[in-house]
Amino acid sequence: MNTEKHGKRLLAALRHYAVFFLLIAFVISCCMLLFLHTMQASAGITFTEKGIRTAAILTMGNVLFLSFLCTVIDAVRRKFMVERPVRRIIRGAEKIMRGDFSARIEPLPGIVGEDGFNVIIDCFNRMAEELSGVETLRTDFIANVSHELKTPLAVVQNYGVLLQSPDLTEAQRMEYAKAIAQQSRRLADLITNILKLNRLENQQIYPAAKRYNLGEQLAACLLNFESTWEQKNIGIETDIEEEVFVESDDELLSLVWNNLFSNALKFTESGGTVSVTLKTKGDFASVRVSDTGCGIPPEVGKHIFEKFYQGDTSHAAQGNGLGLALVKRVVDIVGGDISVESEAGKGSTFTVKIRRTASGEIQGDS
């Protein structure tokens, strides 16, 4: 291996020497011919054969020496200004290949760094930082999925074992079966949301835009949760402007409203209030979903739209941390905007803005 490496280096050195030899030979030969021609023409000097031979030998010697000198200088330059920076970048790349995403390359000092290497190093460091973030998200994703799957599976397993007891009353059997069904639905919802989010993030879902009444859609989605707000004794307030039309994917947007309504009702205690407002301003329709629930602390609000992020780290609240990630992705896809205002203990307000169409416009009219 070392012999092969030395052989390659020798061949490279010979190639460099040959390049410099040909270049310098050409330049010196041209200069000498021009000099001799000028001397002969201006001074009438005639050169003897011996003098020409001596001049040719000296010229060849100069060419050989200058070629060697240039080769040495170029080798030293390449050693310090090319090979060392390249080796440093290669070592960093090898660490990344081994899975060490904390690898960073120090910028090169002086003229070495000004030769374009610092630009490459800066791009490399930014790439490593992005990969580090992706790896952290991947690790968190796996950890959270494992937790979210394990909890309902453990409940199903425990109740399944209890159902095998022969001395259960009919009421106990129904209670255990109901718990199993509830946890099974939770598992199904989790898997469905994971698949939806994966398809959205990989752009496998394309919006099928059509014009429809946004207010009617909000009312229909809200009515789906009637049993929930009645069971928890939650007051519902609505202020929905009429004849507000949007041109968007109604199925995707229904995911947004269902998730926002579900969260608002879930985190609002009995006797609280959930309000839904639809207003227009300029070319946009603004939907506000407010609740009087537990609110969101500022440190949680920064990550509220991230996958599997839950402010309740104990996972005591029912949920899988995917709902708002889905909401954010859908709003981005349809070209809207979503924001949240919240204060711990005083409730939250989510605002979604979507470009609307004029009420008089009918898609397809000529």
150-161: pLDDT as tens digits: 777 888 888 888
What is the predicted pLDDT for the residue at 145? 67
Residues 221-264: pLDDT tens digits?
Answer: 899 888 889 889 999 999 999 889 999 888 888 888 988 998 89
Average pLDDT over residues 343-353: 88
Write the CB contacts of 324 (distance below 8 Å, at least 6 apart in sequence): 259, 263, 304, 305
Contact by Cβ (8 Å): 257, 218:
yes
Going from the C-alpha of 46 to that of each of 38, 40, 42, 56, the distances in angstroms are 12, 6, 11, 16
Contact by Cβ (8 Å): 278, 244:
yes
Identify the weakest region by mean pLDDT among 200-209, 300-309, 311-320, 331-340: 311-320
- What does pTM read for this prediction? 0.52
- What distance in Å separates the CA atoms of residue 257 and residue 225, rounded to the nearest whole number? 11
- What distance in Å separates the CA atoms of residue 283 and residue 103, rounded to the nearest whole number? 48
The one-letter code for the residue type at 196 is K
Average pLDDT over residues 31-55: 63
User: Domains in the chain, ordered, with CATH?
Assistant: 2-100 (no CATH), 210-357 (3.30.565.10)
Phi-psi region of 321 (alpha: psi -120 to 50; beta: other; left: phi over 0): left
Of all residues in the chain, what percent carry a pLDDT higher than 90? 14
What is the predicted pLDDT for the residue at 272? 92
Contact by Cβ (8 Å): 186, 200:
no
- Cβ atoms within 10 Å of 89's Cβ, excluding its own: 16
Q: What is the CA radius of gyration of the chain?
A: 37
Residues 315-331: pLDDT tens digits?
Answer: 334 444 566 877 888 88
- What distance in Å separates the CA atoms of residue 101 and residue 87, rounded to the nearest whole number? 18
Write the CB contacts of 102 (distance below 8 Å, at least 6 apart in sequence): 128, 132
Average pLDDT over residues 46-62: 67
Residues 116-131: pLDDT tens digits?
Answer: 778 888 888 888 887 7
Of all residues in the chain, what percent carry a pLDDT higher than 70? 71
55 pLDDT tier (thresholds 50, 70, 90): low
The mean of the pLDDT values for the chain is 77
| Greater pLDDT, 286 or 95 | 286
